[in-house]
Amino acid sequence: MDKKPLDLIAEHIWATLPDSFNQRKALLEALLALGAKGQTAQNSRDLLFHLNQHELKQRELFS
């Protein structure tokens, strides 16, 4: 199954940002609020949703 771009972004964020989900979420929100990469509010919500889904999958794998 091919991964969607947002899934790849979520995986990268999960793997490279601080250990706390709240820290990763806050950093992503701050970057998007600054207009990084020209993201829109909908893209911000989509990225946060995919990040959250990836986080839940990782927790299931390691629990």
Domain count of the fold of the chain: 1
Distance CA 56, CA 40 (A): 24
pLDDT for 37 equals: 54
pLDDT for 40 equals: 60
Whether pLDDT at 36 is above 60: no
10 Å CB burial of residue 39 (0-12, 13-18, 19+) is middle
The answer to pTM > 0.75 is: no
Tell me which range, 4-13, 20-29, 34-43, is most confidently predicted by mean pLDDT.
20-29
Structural domain boundaries, residue 34 = 5-61
